[in-house]
């Protein structure tokens, strides 16, 4: 989100971080199309639904999804039609997401040293035990699983090591996530939440489960 729309990213981070919710904020947002401003509802009659402390997480998720997914459906469709002019549809449908990305962009050897430079820590540091465990687990991962991890957090697994300079990932430590996983990913915000109560074994198992679901 930060790389796509910095203003919206900062807006959502402010709300999520406990900042005040501006008066009159609703489940809608404005876009300008050919010079005309249009109001887009995030839910039915969203322009009449106020954002509150109780529903702000839903607002954040829906607005991020609208910016990163809904708004580009037209462009994505055009890209798909272009690819279909080169490759038969049955070939594309037989490929997994990672395979198609490699065909289009080539393989990427993800360097953890480069990735670690783009991580911001909130409520923790690189010296916290749960954070060190995360890096140790990623160190043990194959390149394919590291790419899946990157896709889990950012939505893309084909970012070059050079392009990582434009990506920011947040690692946030929580006292309790309310489940036994000890891990929660907020892809729209490039954010990973880690429970300080998690064990290394549970963290590894949870992370493997999450990235395999991406496959």
CATH number of 209's domain: 3.30.2410.10
Residue 68's CATH number: 3.30.2160.10
* pLDDT attached to residue 97: 57
Q: Is residue 24 part of a domain?
A: yes
Identify the domain boundary among 73, 102, 119: 73
pTM metric for this prediction: 0.57
Q: Is residue 103 part of a domain?
A: no
Q: Is residue 1 part of a domain?
A: no
Q: Are residues 116 and 200 in the same domain?
A: yes
Identify the domain boundary among 47, 73, 99: 73
**How many domains does the structure of the chain reveal?**
2
Q: Is residue 94 part of a domain?
A: no
* pLDDT attached to residue 102: 65
Q: Is residue 92 part of a domain?
A: no
**Residue matched to tokens 């989100």:** 1
- Tell me the three-class secondary structure of the chain, residue by residue: CCCCCHHHHHHHHHHHCCCCCCCCCECEEEEEECCEEEEEECCCCHHHCECCCCCHHHHHHHHHHHHHCHHHHHHHHHHHHHHHCCCCHHHHHHCCHHHHHHHHHCCCCCCHHHHHCCEEEECCCCCCHHHHHHHHHHHHCCHHHHHHHHHHHHCCCCCCCCHHHHCCEEEEEECCCCCCCCEEEEHHHCEEEEECCCCHHHHHHHHHHHHHHHC
Q: Are residues 69 and 16 in the same domain?
A: yes
Length of the chain: 215
Q: Give the residue numbers spanning the domain of 131.
A: 110-214
* pLDDT attached to residue 129: 94
Q: Are residues 119 and 198 in the same domain?
A: yes
Per-residue pLDDT of the chain (215 residues; tens, 9 = 90+): 776 788 888 888 888 877 788 889 999 999 887 788 899 999 999 999 999 999 999 999 999 999 888 888 888 889 888 888 888 888 877 776 566 766 666 666 788 888 888 899 998 999 999 999 999 999 999 988 888 898 888 877 666 656 567 778 999 998 877 666 788 888 878 899 998 888 899 999 999 988 887 65
Q: Is residue 13 part of a domain?
A: yes
């Amino acid at each position: 989100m930060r790389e796509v729309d910095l203003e919206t990213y900062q807006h959502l981070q402010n709300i999520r971080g406990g900042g005040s919710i501006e008066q009159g904020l609703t489940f809608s947002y404005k876009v300008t199309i050919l010079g005309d401003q249009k109001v887009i509802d995030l839910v039915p009659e969203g322009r009449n639904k106020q954002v509150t402390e109780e529903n702000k997480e839903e607002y954040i998720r829906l607005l991020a999804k609208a910016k990163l997914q809904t708004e580009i459906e037209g462009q994505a469709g055009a890209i798909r039609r272009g690819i279909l002019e080169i490759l038969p549809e049955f070939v594309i449908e037989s490929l997994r997401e990672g395979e198609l990305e490699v065909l289009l962009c080539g393989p990427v050897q993800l360097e953890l040293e480069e990735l670690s430079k783009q991580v911001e820590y909130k409520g923790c540091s690189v010296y916290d035990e749960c954070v060190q465990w995360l890096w140790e687990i990623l160190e043990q991962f194959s390149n394919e699983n590291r790419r899946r991890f990157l896709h889990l957090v950012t939505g893309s697994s084909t970012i070059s090591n050079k392009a990582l300079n434009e990506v920011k990932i947040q690692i946030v430590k929580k006292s309790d996530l309310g489940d036994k996983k000890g891990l929660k990913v907020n892809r729209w915000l490039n954010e990973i939440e880690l429970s300080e109560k998690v064990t290394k074994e549970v963290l590894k198992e949870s992370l493997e489960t999450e990235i395999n679901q991406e496959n």
